[in-house]
Amino acid sequence: MMRPWLRGISMIEDLPKDNKLALRQVVRACHKASLATLQVDGGAPYVSLVTVALDHDLSPILLLSGLADHSRNIAADSRVSLLFDGTDGHPNPQTGPRVTLMGRATRTDDERLHRRFLARHPGAAVYAGFADFGFWRIQPEKAHFVGGFGRAVWFPAPFGLDAQATKEMEAGETAGLPLSLPDGRVVVGFDVDGVDLIQNDAYLRIAFAESAPNLAKARERLQNLQNRGQF
Protein backbone atom coordinates (compact mmCIF):
# COMPACT_ATOMS: atom_id res chain seq x y z
CA MET A 1 0.00 0.00 0.00
CA MET A 2 1.30 3.46 -0.92
CA ARG A 3 0.19 6.64 0.73
CA PRO A 4 0.65 9.93 -1.13
CA TRP A 5 1.69 12.97 0.88
CA LEU A 6 2.09 16.00 -1.31
CA ARG A 7 3.82 19.10 0.06
CA GLY A 8 3.76 17.84 3.62
CA ILE A 9 1.71 15.85 6.07
CA SER A 10 -2.02 16.37 5.54
CA MET A 11 -3.43 14.86 8.74
CA ILE A 12 -1.85 13.67 11.98
CA GLU A 13 -3.70 10.35 11.48
CA ASP A 14 -1.56 9.76 8.36
CA LEU A 15 1.62 9.43 10.43
CA PRO A 16 3.00 5.89 10.73
CA LYS A 17 2.96 4.43 14.22
CA ASP A 18 6.71 3.78 13.88
CA ASN A 19 8.17 7.03 15.25
CA LYS A 20 11.45 6.72 13.35
CA LEU A 21 9.63 6.25 10.05
CA ALA A 22 7.26 9.09 10.91
CA LEU A 23 10.25 11.32 11.69
CA ARG A 24 11.84 10.55 8.33
CA GLN A 25 8.61 11.08 6.41
CA VAL A 26 8.01 14.47 8.02
CA VAL A 27 11.55 15.60 7.19
CA ARG A 28 11.57 14.28 3.62
CA ALA A 29 8.22 15.96 2.86
CA CYS A 30 9.76 19.40 3.47
CA HIS A 31 11.60 21.42 0.84
CA LYS A 32 12.43 24.25 3.26
CA ALA A 33 13.41 24.51 6.91
CA SER A 34 14.31 26.99 9.64
CA LEU A 35 18.07 26.95 10.19
CA ALA A 36 19.40 27.87 13.64
CA THR A 37 23.03 28.94 13.98
CA LEU A 38 25.06 30.73 16.67
CA GLN A 39 26.00 34.31 15.92
CA VAL A 40 29.69 35.07 15.53
CA ASP A 41 29.35 38.10 17.79
CA GLY A 42 28.09 37.00 21.17
CA GLY A 43 26.83 33.50 20.37
CA ALA A 44 23.15 34.41 20.38
CA PRO A 45 20.82 32.06 18.45
CA TYR A 46 20.02 33.19 14.91
CA VAL A 47 17.28 31.57 12.81
CA SER A 48 16.87 31.88 9.04
CA LEU A 49 14.82 30.29 6.27
CA VAL A 50 16.65 27.91 3.92
CA THR A 51 15.69 25.61 1.07
CA VAL A 52 16.80 22.04 1.65
CA ALA A 53 17.20 18.66 -0.01
CA LEU A 54 17.67 15.41 1.89
CA ASP A 55 20.27 12.78 1.14
CA HIS A 56 19.53 9.07 1.50
CA ASP A 57 20.86 9.05 5.08
CA LEU A 58 18.64 12.05 5.93
CA SER A 59 21.57 14.50 5.80
CA PRO A 60 20.21 17.94 4.87
CA ILE A 61 21.87 19.56 1.84
CA LEU A 62 21.91 23.36 1.66
CA LEU A 63 23.01 25.95 -0.90
CA LEU A 64 24.11 29.08 0.93
CA SER A 65 25.59 32.43 0.07
CA GLY A 66 28.88 33.16 1.77
CA LEU A 67 27.63 36.70 2.35
CA ALA A 68 24.70 35.53 4.50
CA ASP A 69 24.83 35.78 8.28
CA HIS A 70 24.13 32.07 8.72
CA SER A 71 27.14 31.19 6.56
CA ARG A 72 29.46 33.36 8.63
CA ASN A 73 28.03 31.80 11.77
CA ILE A 74 28.58 28.26 10.51
CA ALA A 75 32.15 29.06 9.50
CA ALA A 76 32.86 29.97 13.14
CA ASP A 77 30.78 27.22 14.79
CA SER A 78 29.54 24.28 12.75
CA ARG A 79 26.80 23.30 15.20
CA VAL A 80 23.34 23.84 13.71
CA SER A 81 19.76 22.70 14.03
CA LEU A 82 16.94 22.70 11.51
CA LEU A 83 13.21 22.75 12.15
CA PHE A 84 11.16 20.79 9.62
CA ASP A 85 7.54 21.90 9.91
CA GLY A 86 4.78 19.52 8.87
CA THR A 87 1.96 21.46 10.52
CA ASP A 88 0.51 23.15 7.42
CA GLY A 89 -3.23 22.58 7.21
CA HIS A 90 -3.68 21.98 10.93
CA PRO A 91 -6.06 24.50 12.58
CA ASN A 92 -3.94 24.12 15.72
CA PRO A 93 -0.28 23.79 14.68
CA GLN A 94 0.56 22.32 18.07
CA THR A 95 -1.27 19.15 16.99
CA GLY A 96 0.82 18.82 13.83
CA PRO A 97 4.11 16.98 13.25
CA ARG A 98 7.53 18.61 13.25
CA VAL A 99 11.15 17.56 13.63
CA THR A 100 14.16 19.40 15.00
CA LEU A 101 17.32 17.86 13.52
CA MET A 102 20.68 18.70 15.08
CA GLY A 103 24.15 18.20 13.63
CA ARG A 104 27.26 19.83 12.20
CA ALA A 105 27.58 21.62 8.88
CA THR A 106 30.50 21.22 6.49
CA ARG A 107 31.13 22.51 2.97
CA THR A 108 30.85 19.80 0.34
CA ASP A 109 32.27 19.46 -3.16
CA ASP A 110 30.41 16.18 -3.73
CA GLU A 111 28.81 16.51 -7.17
CA ARG A 112 26.21 13.89 -6.32
CA LEU A 113 24.92 16.08 -3.50
CA HIS A 114 25.00 19.14 -5.76
CA ARG A 115 22.88 17.32 -8.35
CA ARG A 116 20.50 16.04 -5.70
CA PHE A 117 19.84 19.55 -4.41
CA LEU A 118 19.44 21.15 -7.84
CA ALA A 119 17.11 18.40 -9.05
CA ARG A 120 14.74 19.38 -6.26
CA HIS A 121 15.32 23.12 -6.54
CA PRO A 122 15.86 23.71 -10.28
CA GLY A 123 15.49 27.48 -9.89
CA ALA A 124 18.65 27.52 -7.77
CA ALA A 125 20.73 26.61 -10.82
CA VAL A 126 20.67 30.30 -11.78
CA TYR A 127 22.93 31.24 -8.86
CA ALA A 128 24.50 27.92 -7.81
CA GLY A 129 27.61 28.74 -9.84
CA PHE A 130 28.14 32.19 -8.33
CA ALA A 131 31.47 32.54 -6.56
CA ASP A 132 29.90 33.44 -3.22
CA PHE A 133 27.56 30.41 -3.13
CA GLY A 134 28.47 26.98 -1.83
CA PHE A 135 26.88 23.67 -0.91
CA TRP A 136 26.76 22.46 2.67
CA ARG A 137 25.94 19.06 4.15
CA ILE A 138 24.61 18.66 7.67
CA GLN A 139 25.86 15.51 9.40
CA PRO A 140 22.90 14.49 11.58
CA GLU A 141 23.60 13.69 15.21
CA LYS A 142 20.13 13.49 16.75
CA ALA A 143 16.57 14.62 16.15
CA HIS A 144 13.51 15.49 18.21
CA PHE A 145 10.27 14.23 16.69
CA VAL A 146 6.93 15.68 17.78
CA GLY A 147 3.90 13.96 16.28
CA GLY A 148 1.29 15.97 18.20
CA PHE A 149 0.21 16.13 21.82
CA GLY A 150 1.74 13.35 23.90
CA ARG A 151 4.01 12.12 21.10
CA ALA A 152 7.51 13.56 21.47
CA VAL A 153 10.74 11.57 21.40
CA TRP A 154 14.47 11.99 20.74
CA PHE A 155 16.36 9.68 18.40
CA PRO A 156 20.07 9.45 17.55
CA ALA A 157 21.14 9.16 13.92
CA PRO A 158 20.67 7.13 11.70
CA PHE A 159 16.95 7.19 12.65
CA GLY A 160 16.25 3.58 11.72
CA LEU A 161 18.01 3.68 8.34
CA ASP A 162 20.13 0.73 7.25
CA ALA A 163 23.69 1.68 6.27
CA GLN A 164 23.94 -0.89 3.46
CA ALA A 165 20.62 0.17 1.94
CA THR A 166 21.75 3.79 2.09
CA LYS A 167 24.93 2.98 0.17
CA GLU A 168 22.96 1.03 -2.44
CA MET A 169 20.57 3.95 -2.94
CA GLU A 170 23.43 6.44 -3.30
CA ALA A 171 25.06 4.29 -5.98
CA GLY A 172 22.03 3.31 -8.02
CA GLU A 173 19.15 5.71 -7.51
CA THR A 174 19.72 8.03 -10.46
CA ALA A 175 19.56 5.39 -13.23
CA GLY A 176 16.62 6.25 -15.48
CA LEU A 177 16.06 9.66 -13.88
CA PRO A 178 14.73 12.24 -14.34
CA LEU A 179 11.49 10.59 -15.48
CA SER A 180 8.93 12.86 -17.17
CA LEU A 181 5.28 11.99 -16.63
CA PRO A 182 2.37 12.75 -19.03
CA ASP A 183 0.84 15.34 -16.67
CA GLY A 184 3.99 17.45 -16.58
CA ARG A 185 5.37 16.19 -13.31
CA VAL A 186 8.94 14.92 -13.23
CA VAL A 187 10.33 12.22 -10.95
CA VAL A 188 13.70 13.60 -9.85
CA GLY A 189 14.63 11.04 -7.22
CA PHE A 190 13.56 8.44 -4.72
CA ASP A 191 14.81 6.86 -1.52
CA VAL A 192 13.81 4.01 0.77
CA ASP A 193 10.95 6.13 2.14
CA GLY A 194 9.35 7.56 -1.01
CA VAL A 195 9.53 9.54 -4.23
CA ASP A 196 10.44 13.17 -5.05
CA LEU A 197 8.74 14.99 -7.93
CA ILE A 198 8.84 18.47 -9.43
CA GLN A 199 5.97 20.23 -11.18
CA ASN A 200 6.55 23.76 -12.48
CA ASP A 201 9.43 24.15 -9.99
CA ALA A 202 7.14 23.09 -7.11
CA TYR A 203 8.32 20.19 -4.94
CA LEU A 204 6.00 17.22 -4.43
CA ARG A 205 6.52 14.16 -2.25
CA ILE A 206 4.91 10.73 -2.34
CA ALA A 207 5.78 8.61 0.70
CA PHE A 208 5.76 4.83 0.85
CA ALA A 209 3.54 3.44 3.60
CA GLU A 210 6.52 1.33 4.67
CA SER A 211 10.22 1.82 4.14
CA ALA A 212 11.83 -0.22 1.33
CA PRO A 213 14.63 -2.47 2.61
CA ASN A 214 16.94 -1.96 -0.39
CA LEU A 215 17.35 -0.37 -3.83
CA ALA A 216 15.61 -3.20 -5.69
CA LYS A 217 12.50 -2.97 -3.50
CA ALA A 218 12.46 0.83 -3.78
CA ARG A 219 12.53 0.55 -7.58
CA GLU A 220 9.78 -2.06 -7.43
CA ARG A 221 7.59 0.29 -5.41
CA LEU A 222 8.35 3.13 -7.80
CA GLN A 223 7.27 0.92 -10.71
CA ASN A 224 4.12 -0.09 -8.86
CA LEU A 225 3.19 3.56 -8.47
CA GLN A 226 3.50 4.01 -12.24
CA ASN A 227 1.54 0.85 -13.03
CA ARG A 228 -1.31 1.91 -10.77
CA GLY A 229 -1.39 5.42 -12.15
CA GLN A 230 -0.71 6.88 -8.71
CA PHE A 231 1.66 9.46 -10.10
What structural domains does the chain harbor? 2-227 (2.30.110.10)
pLDDT of residue 2: 36
pLDDT of residue 9: 41
| Residue stretches of the chain with pLDDT short of 70 | 1-13, 231
pLDDT of residue 13: 52
Peptide bond into 97 cis (omega under 30): no
Cα–Cα nearest to 2, from 182, 177, 220, 187: 220
pLDDT of residue 155: 98
Cα–Cα nearest to 91, from 17, 204, 10: 10
Distance CA 162, CA 224 (A): 23
Peptide bond into 158 cis (omega under 30): yes
Residue 166, number of CB atoms within 10 A of its CB: 19
Q: pLDDT tens for residues 168-227?
A: 999 988 888 999 988 889 999 999 999 999 998 899 999 987 899 999 999 999 888 887
Task: Tell me the chain's radius of gyration from C-alpha atoms.
Answer: 17
pLDDT of residue 1: 35
Distance CA 170, CA 116 (A): 10
Are residues 25 and 47 in contact, defined by beta-carbon separation less than 8 angstroms? no
For the chain, give the DSSP string: -EE---SS---GGGS-SSHHHHHHHHHHT-SEEEEEEE-TTT--EEEEEEE-EE-TTS-EEEEEETTSHHHHHHHH--EEEEEEE--TT-SSGGGS-EEEEEEEEEE---HHHHHHHHHH-GGGHHHHTSTTEEEEEEEEEEEEEE-STT-EEEEETTTT--HHHHHHHHHHTTTT-SEE-TTS-EEEEEETTEEEEEETTEEEEEEESS--SSHHHHHHHHHHHHHTT--
End-to-end CA, the chain: 14
pLDDT of residue 224: 86
Distance CA 120, CA 210 (A): 23
Distance CA 87, CA 69 (A): 27
